[in-house]
Structure 1
Amino acid sequence: PGKQTLSTLVILPALVPETILGVGLLVLIKAVDQPRTLLLLVLGHILLAVPYVVLIAQARMVGIRRVYEEAALSLGASRFSSFREITLPLLVPAVVAGAMLAFTISFDNTSASLFWRPAGAETMPTQILSMLKISISPEINALGTVMILVTVGLPLLGG
């Protein structure tokens, strides 16, 4: 019971636009009189990335046949040992792909970072945005190149 509700709640942040989610969480932070901290910024980025990681891991779990675990259990392995030796190695590619996608989503997220970052803290995308307000400089071009290499290059290396 509650499996479908939990699944919907986990996937919900992916369905809400980032700007609306950013404003909504900022309003919540202000309503509970919580100052913006680096921890809240990290938790917000985790909230944005978790749905994608869960979807990738669920898709991989569907592809893992139960007979492998059943064979290990019938040969005397414990449930934990069966998970560690059979299921986890089969799940590692999905976990790595999910981590890379989560990093890419978090790294490129400017709108939510603008709402959640504490005073004095800058993420790379917000730093580039503030630098663009002044003028275009070679530093912006270099940072943009690094961002493109990281966000496009990492998934290509993993694929």
Structure 2
Amino acid sequence: TLVILPALVPETILGVGLLVMIKAVDQPRSMALLVLGHILLTLPYVVLIVQARMVGIKRSYEEAALSLGAPRVSTFREITLPLLIPAVLASILLAFTISFDNTSASLFWRPAGVETMPTQILSMLKISISPEVNALGT
């Protein structure tokens, strides 16, 4: 599907593509663009993890709650959501890791004067390898 497409495109191409699109509509680079870019980059992984968990949830749990008279919202809140929480937490951790590892696209998307952690580490590595770089990298 189209949601998984950003996972198939290299990060550099995705970074340049989003930057070209933003320049075409004459928008400056901003923090919102940086956040949007990282969401676009990590969304496929989140969707795949949560979708895999949704497939594993037995429909009979929801059907039993509905047959006993529980409303759909209550069924989702009491049955489905607690079963999805591990997948959501795992996808949040994976999204953070992917976003933290992404240096190339962050270089394209960040506004002037803003340093993300990966771009800061890259800047520090250009000068010299120091204990701070080692501490930030672990």
Length-normalised TM-score, structure 2: 0.97
Q: Report how many residues are paired.
A: 138
| Counterpart residue number, 1:12 | 5
Please report how far the alpha carbon of residue 139 of structure 1 lies from its aligned counterpart in structure 2 after TM superposition: 1.5
- Within 5 Å, which residues of 2 pair with 1:24-103? 24-103=17-96
Please report how far the alpha carbon of residue 48 of structure 1 lies from its aligned counterpart in structure 2 after TM superposition: 0.5
| Counterpart residue number, 1:119 | 112
Aligned equivalents of 2:30, 2:136: Cα separation in 1: 25
Higher helix fraction (1 or 2): 1
Length-normalised TM-score, structure 1: 0.85
Which consecutive segments of 4 or more residues in structure 1 shift more than 4 A? none
Any gaps of 5 or more consecutive residues in structure 1? 1-7, 146-159
Please report how far the alpha carbon of residue 137 of structure 1 lies from its aligned counterpart in structure 2 after TM superposition: 1.8
Please report how far the alpha carbon of residue 54 of structure 1 lies from its aligned counterpart in structure 2 after TM superposition: 0.3
Instruction: Using the aligned pairs only, state the percent identity.
Output: 86
Aligned equivalents of 2:86, 2:134: Cα separation in 1: 33
What one-letter code is carried by the residue in structure 2 that aligns with 1:34? Answer: Q
Please report how far the alpha carbon of residue 122 of structure 1 lies from its aligned counterpart in structure 2 after TM superposition: 0.4
Aligned equivalents of 1:19, 1:13: Cα separation in 2: 11
Please report how far the alpha carbon of residue 29 of structure 1 lies from its aligned counterpart in structure 2 after TM superposition: 1.1
Please report how far the alpha carbon of residue 134 of structure 1 lies from its aligned counterpart in structure 2 after TM superposition: 1.4
Please report how far the alpha carbon of residue 117 of structure 1 lies from its aligned counterpart in structure 2 after TM superposition: 0.2
Give the counterpart of 1:138 among 96, 118, 131: 131
| Counterpart residue number, 1:105 | 98
Superposition RMSD in Å: 0.7
Query: Helix, strand or coil: the match of 2:2?
Result: helix
Any gaps of 5 or more consecutive residues in structure 2? none
